[in-house]
Structure 1
Amino acid sequence: MPVDRSFLPLNIAVLTVSDTRTEASDRSGQLLVDRLTEAGHHLAEKAIVPDNIYQIRAIVSQWIADNRVQVILTTGGTGLTGRDGTPEAIGPLLDKAIEGFGELFRWISYADIKTSTIQSRAIAGVANGTYLFCLPGSTGACQTAWDHILKDQLDARHRPCNFADLLPRLTEL
């Protein structure tokens, strides 16, 4: 007999990593907020932080320690320039990496931006029972990640499996 699966709203925090964006000009962060709330999830927190490894870690560490935050989405700082340090800031905080996220993101992105997708260092992982997804700073990249990966994986109704179903078991020993 099929099990009735209900939607489980998650508490999601959004962090924009940028030296130049403000709340008024943060289109990528706002796109993620709009997408997650339209899907029925709750915005737990939203912040903008400069491209500084230690400032990124400070905010993300605070959210990882907050049991109310179940998912963290970052946008920006995943490129190759000297100021792009989001993967370096987040990587050491992860208990486990989700290697397939970055691989799938680049594969899907290839359809739109061809070989330019190789410049993305999008990463994901788990820390203290919290999912983290580090996305590029463009609105197109955030839309691709949400619409083609995160929308389904953060929905407990998605089959055959999803990240939402695993949340209670992330901290099992």
Structure 2
Amino acid sequence: MPRPDLSRFYPLTIAVLTVSDSRTSNTDSSGELLCQLLQTAGHQLAERTLVPNNKYQIRAVLSQWIASDTIQVVLLNGGTGYAKGNCTVEATTPLLDDTVPGFGELFRQLSFNALGSAALQSGALAGIANGTLLFAMPGSGGACTLAMQQLILPQLDGHTGPCNFLAHVKNSPTNSCGA
């Protein structure tokens, strides 16, 4: 198989899920931020929705997106901390075929620089299910910006070496690891 053109950007199809009991579609600033950041980077927004902290509603949306032939990445925001009722981590984890432990570890390390020890309460996680890459992050704008700019967007870009996640998503334009 020919090597992919690593000088070229490959846009991915991404869905955004906000988990919140207090936000509405009109007040979901973090979901809006994620949409803007992914589109500014050149990716395509497939769907965007908001659900309450209910593990079955979260799983229903995620299951549909994971089963989709077109959605390659899902960005979840909200419900990842140790607040009463938060269940994003509990809802997402059983759906994953494989986890990406480095995402949560690096997110907490980067958060520690800004928040101190409160960063250890973040349940940020990532994994792959049916060729769909999922990233779950806190719902604050600062957390979403940190995750997207420092961790997620570089790994969704085929230019990032020596490895990136392009080769691991369904309908991947490339199946090699980095340069």
Q: TM-score range by the shorter chain?
A: over 0.9
Counterpart-to-counterpart distance in 1, 2:79 and 2:92: 11
Show structure 1 runs of 4+ deviating over 4 A. none
Equivalent residue number for residue 93 of structure 1 = 95
Aligned residues, how many?
Answer: 167
Percent identity, aligned pairs only, is: 51
Equivalent residue number for residue 146 of structure 1 = 148
Equivalent residue number for residue 122 of structure 1 = 124
Counterpart-to-counterpart distance in 2, 1:86 and 1:74: 8
Deviation at 1:106, TM superposition (A): 0.5
Question: TM-score if structure 1 supplies the norm length?
Answer: 0.93
Counterpart-to-counterpart distance in 2, 1:125 and 1:138: 21
Question: TM-score if structure 2 supplies the norm length?
Answer: 0.90
**Alignment equivalent of 1:135, drawn from 137, 141, 148:** 137
RMSD (Å), alpha carbons: 1.1
Counterpart-to-counterpart distance in 2, 1:4 and 1:120: 34
**Alignment equivalent of 1:160, drawn from 162, 166, 171:** 162
- The secondary structure found in structure 1 opposite 2:25 is coil
Counterpart-to-counterpart distance in 2, 1:165 and 1:58: 26
The AA in structure 2 aligned to 1:86 is T
**Alignment equivalent of 1:41, drawn from 24, 43, 60:** 43
Deviation at 1:4, TM superposition (A): 4.4
Give per-residue Cα distances to partners, 1:11-38, cap 9 Å, x unaligned.
0000000011112110111110000000
